[in-house]
Amino acid sequence: MSEEHSHESSKPAPEPLALVQRFVNSLDPDPYDEELETPEALRQWLAERGLMSAEESVSEGDLRRAIDVREGLRALLLANNGEELDNAAVERLDRAASRAGVRLSFTLGEPELVPDAVGVDGAIAQLMAIVATARSDGSWQRLKACRRDDCEWAFYDRSKNQSGRWCSMDSCGNVEKARSYRKRHKASA
């Protein structure tokens, strides 16, 4: 990741929601840094995080679905931060997630959402189960994407009133406040 976004560690989500945050942040738009450029890169990323076996094969179609999931999640995180929902991105997320079966398991005596698929679909299912659980426990609304257009970095809002808007006040917050200031003063001149 770029040095500018080394601040991710300062606003991490609680586990396991942090895994969804890291997945969304596998793309840093400014400067452009894509961790999931190839099917092999996706396989490695998912395997390193225990979401699938390193021996599983990953196709171009799997990569496209994973990107659709990531960008659909980013759209939802922007909506968590007050931005308009990108319905097209969420529709692609829905299509990609529909192949990723999730079921309820009682193996440990407590109900738990678990993947009902393997490979990339199983990895997507695990991410969707984390999102569903976070929605239930109230932590989902705190996971947001930075409102700065050329950032959109996922961060966890720990403020009491959930008013965080930027991934970092030192970078994006200051840039946006300065931009807003210039805009107001230009309009009044």
- For every one of its 189 residues, what pLDDT tens digit does the chain have, with 9 covering 90 and above? 444 444 445 689 999 999 999 999 999 887 789 999 999 999 999 999 999 999 999 999 999 999 999 999 999 999 999 999 999 999 999 999 999 999 999 988 889 999 999 999 999 999 999 999 999 999 999 999 999 888 999 999 999 999 999 888 777 866 666 565 566 667 776
At position 132, the amino acid (one-letter code) is A
Alpha carbons within 13 angstroms on the beta-carbon side of residue 143 total: 30
Going through the chain in order, the beta strands assigned E by DSSP cover 27-29, 32-34, 102-105, 112-115, 143-145, 154-156
**How do beta strands 143-145 and 112-115 pair?**
unpaired
Buried/exposed 74-103: b ≥16 CB within 10 Å, e otherwise: bbbbbebbebeebeebbebbeebbeebebe
User: What is the count of structural domains for the chain?
Assistant: 1
Q: What is the CATH number of the domain that holds 87?
A: 1.10.3300
Domain span at residue 78 reads: 3-188
157-110-100 Cα angle (round to 5): 65
Record the pTM: 0.88
Any bridge partners for residue 120, and if so which?
Answer: none
